[in-house]
Amino acid sequence: MTTAEDNFGSLRLWLRDGVDVYISPDNVAHVVFLSTRKRLRLKVSPSLISSLEWLDGSATVSELEEKFSEDTHASSLVDFLYYLYGKGVLVEKDWMMDGISPECASRFSRQLNFFLDIEESTGAALELLRRFMECKVALIGIGSVGSWILKELVQIGFQRFVLIDPKPLTSGDRVRNALFDHALVGLPKAVVADRFIQGQAVNPETWVRTLPLDIYTDVESLIGSDVDLIINTADEPYIGATSIKLSRYCVKKGTPLLVAGGFDAHLASLSEMIVPGRTPCSDCYAMHFEEALSDWKPMSHPVTDRLMGFGGLPSLSVFAASAAVLKIVRLFSEKGGGVERGRGEFLFDNYAIDSFKVERNPKCPACGEAMPLELNDI
């Protein structure tokens, strides 16, 4: 036994909800995590598999070992149970109470079970929730995509925000903004968002900023110097300009940046997660598209005032927001998968997700091998 197993014999484990066990004709046990569809295949003796039926939380592991002692596979029982405990298949009854309040355990119980599927240990699942609660997020743009991102982040435990959107909530936002409230029409969206967080988060901590992010804005004076994640959905002057400005700042600071939504052509986008040193930055993306579209010459449009001409559906905004939040969960997760490099989008006609890879560009002026830009160039 290792030190990690020292008190294992005293644990009262049970086979938790959300995991089904099937036995195939070749006596292989298939452990299926229902929420993630992950599977474990275990080739063990039928009697060990049947021992799972005893795991209702009433007996300690040592007591089960005693009960199992007549069986020829008895020596494997503790190893078998320890393996399943390490995979999050077996848990202690009150594992969610370990370090968080009963209110938090009750509020986040379903997602903690989901995190257990991803992270494969109760400690890591709780740690993922703690990371959310401690993370300080700067959200720039609280419109049709940004408002849904914020709502979902608060629902999964985020509570520390810098909220940036000076534009007032309008009656037209009723069909697209997750935080719409008739009584708040006319207030800056950052203020509307703050009211929402104060009513929903466990321990809300917000900084409301009713200034725009434009080309003249100093990023750090706008968002502060201690932000852990920046989310950009700002469409003015346009998402490409604000993202390049923020991305250059993030590359210098080593802060992750998520670019989502922005305008209607990006409605069904799966967003871009930019992690300095690991993924392409916004300059890399811009260079990629410049090269890929170099033979395409844009035709000037005969109508100049086209501001209301884009199509959209609230469902597409919510889809883009949910996809973005899932990327954030993956970013903070230990075993949730790597941060992908590229872009994807939902294609309505095909009912499919299309995606393509983009790599870091060695010639990138911000994150490439050449002399990087200085912070005061940003």
Tell me whether residue 61 or residue 364 sits nearer to Zn ion (CB atom).
364
Q: How far is the CB of 365 from Zn ion (least distance, A)?
A: 8
Per CB under 5 A, which region of 208-216, 310-318, 323-331, 361-369 contacts Zn ion?
361-369
Does 250 participate in binding Zn ion (rule CB under 5 A)? no
Tell me whether residue 173 or residue 283 sits nearer to Zn ion (CB atom).
283
Residues near Zn ion (CB under 5 A), total: 6
Beta strands of 150-304 (E only): which ranges?
160-164, 205-209, 229-232, 257-259, 272-274
Tell me whether residue 139 or residue 366 sits nearer to Zn ion (CB atom).
366
Q: Who contacts 214 (Cβ-Cβ below 8 Å, separation ≥6)? A: 236, 237, 242
Q: How far is the CB of 221 from Zn ion (least distance, A)?
A: 24
Interface residue with Zn ion among 118, 128, 364, 378 (CB under 5 A) is: 364
Tell me whether residue 104 or residue 257 sits nearer to Zn ion (CB atom).
257
Alpha-carbon distance 114 to 111, whole Å? 5
Does 246 participate in binding Zn ion (rule CB under 5 A)? no
Tokens of 248: 């250059």
Alpha-carbon distance 78 to 57, whole Å? 15
Per CB under 5 A, which region of 25-33, 84-92, 237-245, 363-371 contacts Zn ion?
363-371
Q: How far is the CB of 366 from Zn ion (least distance, A)?
A: 5
Q: How far is the CB of 138 from Zn ion (least distance, A)?
A: 20
According to the 3-state scheme, what is the secondary structure of 303-335? CCCCCCCCCCCHHHHHHHHHHHHHHHHHHHCCC
Alpha-carbon distance 366 to 251, whole Å? 7
CB-side neighbour CA atoms (13 Å) of 240: 8
Residue nearest to Zn ion (CB): 364
| Ordered strands of the 29-33 beta sheet | 19-23, 29-33, 39-42
* Cα dihedral 323, 324, 328, 331 sign: positive
Judge contact between 117 and 35, C-beta under 8 A.
yes
Does 367 participate in binding Zn ion (rule CB under 5 A)? yes
Q: How far is the CB of 295 from Zn ion (least distance, A)?
A: 23
Tell me whether residue 325 or residue 364 sits nearer to Zn ion (CB atom).
364
Stretch 277-316: interaction string toward Zn ion, x if CB under 5 A: ----x-xx--------------------------------
Report the site for Zn ion in 265-284 (rule: CB under 5 A): 281, 283-284
**Chain contacts with Zn ion (rule: CB under 5 A):** 281, 283-284, 364, 366-367
